[in-house]
Structure 1
Amino acid sequence: MTTVTNDTTSDYLKSLQTVTSGKTGDSTTGASSLGKDSFLQLLVTQMQNQNPLDPQDNSEFVAQLAQFSSLETMQNLSTSVDAIGGMYQSSQALQASSLVGHSVIVDSGSTNVDTTKGMTGQAVVPSTSTVTTVQVVDSTGTTVRTLDLGEQKAGNASFTWDGKDDSGETLASGNYSFIAKGSLDGTATGLTTYLPATVSSVTMGSAGTSMTLNLADGTNLALSKVQQIGI
């Protein structure tokens, strides 16, 4: 009659300790990072050291093989996802390089204006506005021009500033704020403005975050905040 000796039990415990310590073959990983190779070796060690008088049930081996297959599939999936993430970051880098030096339309209240060329922006009108205005304010907080847009229906109302003040004098180029207001149902209401800005550089985002556009006026914003990309 065949019996299980102490040597057999000792060999199994030694094999188990070797696998879980992460020192099998060329592996140097710890117990917290058991992979499919370690899992398979554990299964083989278990089969080699099972009690011949009471062998493990076949269904249990099948269940363990199914777990091994699932583990391998998840590891392969993780590798594929990492590869896709790398390709996505490369695509972002390509997009970023094409944006530098270009003009974008962003949700902002101020922007850097070349007064020799003027500027065109938009005010978001949520509902019909009977009186719509845009105040142009310089860096000192002084209102240098008020643009009268009249009555506007719901939507985006475009406005153009030629870089001149109310007296017709061309102002110095620099940073200007644009304060849009509308009369909605008889109530004076501040309106959101979309203004052009030039992208001076791009900061790539880390994992899980989008890249950031650094604008010529010193501000920055996420790519997702861009309303329109111009030339």
Structure 2
Amino acid sequence: METSSVPSLNGAYGITGNPVANNEITEETFLQLLTVQLQHQDPLQPASDLEFIQQMATFASLEQQRITNDNLEVLQVYQGSINNSNALGIVGKDVKIFDGSVTHEEGDVHTFYFQDDSEAVRAHLEVRDEAGDIVYTTQLPAGQDGEQRFLWNGRDDDGNVLPAGKYEATIRLENADDEYFQTPVFQTKRINGVSYENGTIMVLVDGDRLPIEQVVEVYEPGYAGTNTAEGPEDGGGEEATSDPDFKTNWPFTVIAGGR
């Protein structure tokens, strides 16, 4: 029995071009199909007005979707350009930024803030060096909603002056049920520059690159103070609490209620 090949529908009806992958139909393919359908419909049984209107509505929808997608791409580029320009405006400004790290030099006193919670009974502070080793730990009073401030003069648990380098302070709050939860630590720092990395804006502070999303407030230079200040040589400062469970060799000052 002889066999014969059957031409593809595309070839039979004059539709050219590459096949559409994943069964997706493009605007051009749809228009070709609609044109071929009109050319080859039975003159005695043409497509009904309703069917034709539905097909044209589908075509209009595809066209609108294409235009919308093009506009969205333009808006994304435009928005990215605006964001980049706005980021340049904070260079040289002081910002409040979620960041517990500092570049310490001998004699510096670093000012940190943390978000307190009324359900907390105490805050546990840890300071780590670049190697991740804990160099200072203590407890801070807690239990007030809002910002709390503490100062660190760069000394360890024994009151020894620590060498210059990178350090990071973290705070964990403890509630009455002995449950612990992390709370953000933030500082006021000067923005030295910005960089653009893989579509993300990074701010340059103290030699670090941090996502701009970590910036929560922007100030004119000097308005909000700085993250370091000259402290007393003996590292003294007022005692934060009379609780005997707290260490007495405090290199920290806690100021209740924020700045």
Task: State the TM-score bracket (shorter-chain normalisation).
Answer: 0.5 to 0.7
CA contact (8 A) 1:134 1:180 kept: yes
Deviates more, 1:89-98 or 1:221-230: 221-230
Q: Which residue of 1 aligns with 2:69?
A: 78
CA distance in 2, matches of 1:64, 1:216: 59
1:61 corresponds to 2:52: yes
Q: Which residue of 1 aligns with 2:217?
A: 228
Instruction: Kindly report the root-mean-square deviation, in angstroms, between the aligned alpha carbons of the 2 structures.
Output: 4.1
* Residue type of the alignment partner of 2:42: N
Q: Deviations over 1:133-154 (max 9, x none)?
A: 75555446464696x8656622
Q: Which residue of 2 aligns with 1:6?
A: none
CA contact (8 A) 1:120 1:158 kept: yes
Judged with a 3 Å threshold, the aligned counterparts in structure 2 of structure 1 residues 199 and 186 are, in CA distance, closer, same or farther, namely farther
Judged with a 3 Å threshold, the aligned counterparts in structure 2 of structure 1 residues 125 and 44 are, in CA distance, closer, same or farther, namely same
Judged with a 3 Å threshold, the aligned counterparts in structure 2 of structure 1 residues 183 and 70 are, in CA distance, closer, same or farther, namely closer
CA contact (8 A) 1:112 1:216 kept: no
| TM-superposed deviation, 1:221 | 4.8
CA contact (8 A) 1:15 1:45 kept: no
| Matching residue within 77, 90, 94 for 2:85 | 94
Deviates more, 1:161-170 or 1:215-224: 161-170
| TM-superposed deviation, 1:122 | 0.5
**Could you tell me the TM-score, scaled by structure 2's length?**
0.59
Which consecutive unaligned segments of at least 5 residues does structure 2 have? 1-6, 222-259
| Matching residue within 150, 153, 156 for 2:144 | 153
* Residue type of the alignment partner of 1:225: Q
CA distance in 1, matches of 2:77, 2:30: 29
More helix by share: 1
1:177 corresponds to 2:168: yes
| TM-superposed deviation, 1:15 | 6.6
| Matching residue within 101, 114, 117 for 1:126 | 117
Residue-pair matches, total: 208
* Residue type of the alignment partner of 2:55: Q
Q: Which residue of 2 aligns with 1:16?
A: 13
Judged with a 3 Å threshold, the aligned counterparts in structure 2 of structure 1 residues 67 and 109 are, in CA distance, closer, same or farther, namely same
Which consecutive unaligned segments of at least 5 residues does structure 1 have? 1-9, 23-28
* Residue type of the alignment partner of 2:76: G
* Residue type of the alignment partner of 1:111: V
